[in-house]
């Protein structure tokens, strides 16, 4: 007979693993959907990496943490990076097309405009920088 703690531990690990797999699948599907529509993004300048940042005027986390992180990253990388800010209230169709369910949400685009990463919630400047380096190691 198997001890009860072993059964509970195995069940907990299975739930954690399935949750992680579902998250990865949702992220993959989101990036796949965005690949089909990213070329329609206004203000995108080909040849530069970009961060597409979805926000709203009343988002406190955006004002307090995400926006300052993006400003810091922009000042660090200068003209190697473009930050495209989209107000999800003013352009709800764009937010829907990109699969944005909450703000802040950031997408990392490579220099060809292909989405490489998506971040739900506040993302520190260091993580965004690392993601940009992974997509554009020679440029950043």
pLDDT of res. 31: 85
* Residue 98: count of CB within 10 angstroms of its CB: 22
pLDDT of res. 17: 96
pLDDT of res. 12: 96
Q: Which residues of the chain have pLDDT under 70?
A: 137-140
Query: Tokens 């004002």 label which residue?
Result: 63
pLDDT of res. 43: 83
Closest CA to 51 of 101, 97, 121, 105: 105
pLDDT of res. 137: 64
Q: What is the pLDDT of residues 17-31, one digit of tens each?
A: 999 999 899 888 888
Structure tokens at 10: 């195995």
92 within 8 A of 75, measured Cβ to Cβ: no
Distances in whole angstroms, Cα of residue 138 to Cα of each of 67, 80, 105, 129, 134: 26, 11, 26, 13, 9
Task: State how far the Cα of 75 lies from the Cα of 96, in Å rounded to an integer.
Answer: 30
> What is the CATH T-level fold of the domain 4-135, as seen in this structure?
Glutaredoxin (3.40.30)
Residue 131 φ/ψ, nearest 5 degrees: -65, -40
The full set of domain ranges for the chain reads: 4-135
Query: Tokens 């070329």 label which residue?
Result: 39
18 within 8 A of 84, measured Cβ to Cβ: no
């Amino acid at each position: 007979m198997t001890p009860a703690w072993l059964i509970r531990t195995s069940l907990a690990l299975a739930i954690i693993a399935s949750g992680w797999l579902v998250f990865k699948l949702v992220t993959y599907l989101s990036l796949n959907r965005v690949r089909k529509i990213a070329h329609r993004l206004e203000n995108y300048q080909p040849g530069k990496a970009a961060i597409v940042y979805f926000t709203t005027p009343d988002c406190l986390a955006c004002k307090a943490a995400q926006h300052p992180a993006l400003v810091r990253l922009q000042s660090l990388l200068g003209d190697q990076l473009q930050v495209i800010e989209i107000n999800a209230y003013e352009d709800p169709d764009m937010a829907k097309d990109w699969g944005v369910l909450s703000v802040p949400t950031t997408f990392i685009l490579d220099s060809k405009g292909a989405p490489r990463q998506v971040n739900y919630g506040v993302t520190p400047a260091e993580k965004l920088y690392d993601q940009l380096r992974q997509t554009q190691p020679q440029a950043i």
